[in-house]
Chains A and B, each alone.
Chain A
Amino acid sequence: MNHLLRGHAPLSDRNWKLLDEEARQRLQGALAARRLVDFSGPHGWEHSATNLGRTTLIGTAPCDGVVAAQRRVLPLAELRAEFSIALSELRDDDRGAPDADLEPLDRAARQIAIAENVAVFHGWEGAAIGGIAEASPIEPRPLGESGEDYPRSVARAVEALRERGVEGPYGLALGPDEHLHAIETAEHGGYPLMDHLAKILCDGPIVWAPGVRGAVVLSLRGGDFLFESGQDLSIGYSHHDSEAVHLYLEESFSFVVATPEAAAPLSS
């Protein structure tokens, strides 16, 4: 048994399967950053820092005649979203109930996915993580009031990347409101907006990105945005009482923007 202590939870194998599958489904739809940036790992819970390959000079060396420096690393950050499931729901699941109430798990999954997306796209100062949109030297342009404005804005963002020598294919992260506008809009002649945007992106993905403000166009060529996973998203056990089992979703990760000019933010 590892640090997640899953074996101590009063859950049957069937219960764990139900919870893991529910969490996986909820998370895969909302983890927008993982659809667009490079992913390394998982390197394990013991993995504590990302190598930055840089040093800081140390003013005082142990003795004269030597120069001292210290390696710089980016410590991994941990995210945890706690939730509780009623034991009665899990016993019903054991009996074959197809409609166990997993709403607390769904909320936790959404929150931790949003937290990951926000850290990657807009940064997380407390964890020394710079976000893609904030790191970009390209001045944010408005995405537009309506969906019909999006193709022009996205095309200009792609052009801004090309002008800086950043090749495609490109991906587009859209905040929830912007994504809704995009899917419900048909341009003149009934041509679906999403198809038009995909063509502009060289057939790159258009991703629903809860937590993203506005939109971000970024290159998918690789090597520009580096997500390093320690422990990948997991469900762990905290404690239980007579009414409920108290669990959590948890992960550890770092994120580094290696090429700030490989993304162009668009404001809402």
Chain B
Amino acid sequence: MGFDQYHEPPEELPAETRTFARLCASLEEESQAIGWYQQRLAVEPDAEARAIMEDAQGEEFKHFSMDLEFLLRRTPRWRQIAEGVLFQDGDIVEHGEAAEAESGEEGDDADSAGAGDGSLGIGSLKEIP
């Protein structure tokens, strides 16, 4: 089904939310593919086949990363939490809890827009037909 990414009636959703949902669906598909390749690589004995699958998995890493970066740019609070977790040494859970708490403080602190930077979260309004 082509419209499974929508949880609410698409016609009631603003364009930017539809775009956001499409990229969330894409992120999910890329991570699923990464997991599949990981499993195939774990059982494949043929070196040539493994090389192809490793190359393909690298493509999925790239796609996943691009999807994630797009979503983080459009979601300041998500970006703020991610900055506290990604590429950090140490305890992942501790970093996650701290980053969430910090963003929550700003969120409670008169940030009704839900954007970590306090902006209105308008961003791009461009729609390509």
Contacts and interface: CB of A to CB of B under 8 A. Distances in A.
A2 B125 contact: no
A28 B17 CA distance: 14
Given A2-B106, A7-B109, A9-B110, A234 B128 contact: no
Given A7-B110, A17-B112, A23 B127 contact: no
Greatest chain B CB density within 10 A among A7, A27, A204 is at A7
B123 A234 contact: no
14 contacts: A1-B106, A13-B112, A16-B112, A20-B112, A21-B112, A39-B126, A42-B123, A204-B129, A220-B128, A229-B123, A232-B120, A234-B118, A234-B119, A234-B120
A39 B123 contact: yes
Interface residues of A, number: 41
A263 to B, nearest CB: 15
A232 B122 contact: yes
Contacts of A1: 106, 109
B54 interface: no
B126 A220 contact: yes
A110 interface: no
B108 to A, nearest CB: 8
Nearest to A236: B118
A35 B129 contact: no
Given A13-B110, A17-B112, A20-B112, A231 B117 contact: yes
A42 B121 CA distance: 9
B126 to A, nearest CB: 6
A129 interface: no
Nearest to A3: B118
A135 B110 CA distance: 41
A211 to B, nearest CB: 15
B101 to A, nearest CB: 15
Interface string A1-31: 1101011010101001100110110011001
B58 to A, nearest CB: 26
Interface in B63-121: 73, 76, 106, 108-113, 115, 117-121
B126 A233 contact: no
Greatest chain B CB density within 10 A among A17, A34, A220, A232 is at A232
- B interface secondary structure, majority: loop
Interface string B9-26: 000000000000000000
A144 B7 CA distance: 46
Given A7-B110, A11-B110, A231-B117, A31 B125 contact: yes
A232 B117 contact: yes
Nearest to A33: B125
A205 B123 contact: no
B122 A31 contact: yes
A2 B110 contact: no
A6 B112 CA distance: 10
A89 interface: no
Contacts of A90: none
Contact of A203 (B73, B76, B129): B129
B125 A28 contact: yes
B124 interface: yes
A191 B123 CA distance: 35
A44 B83 CA distance: 13
Contact of B127 (A9, A24, A205, A232): A205
User: Can you list the 6 inter-chain pairs with the closest CB atoms, starting with the nearest?
Assistant: A39-B124, A6-B110, A17-B112, A203-B129, A232-B119, A234-B119
A7 B123 CA distance: 23
Contacts of A37: 126
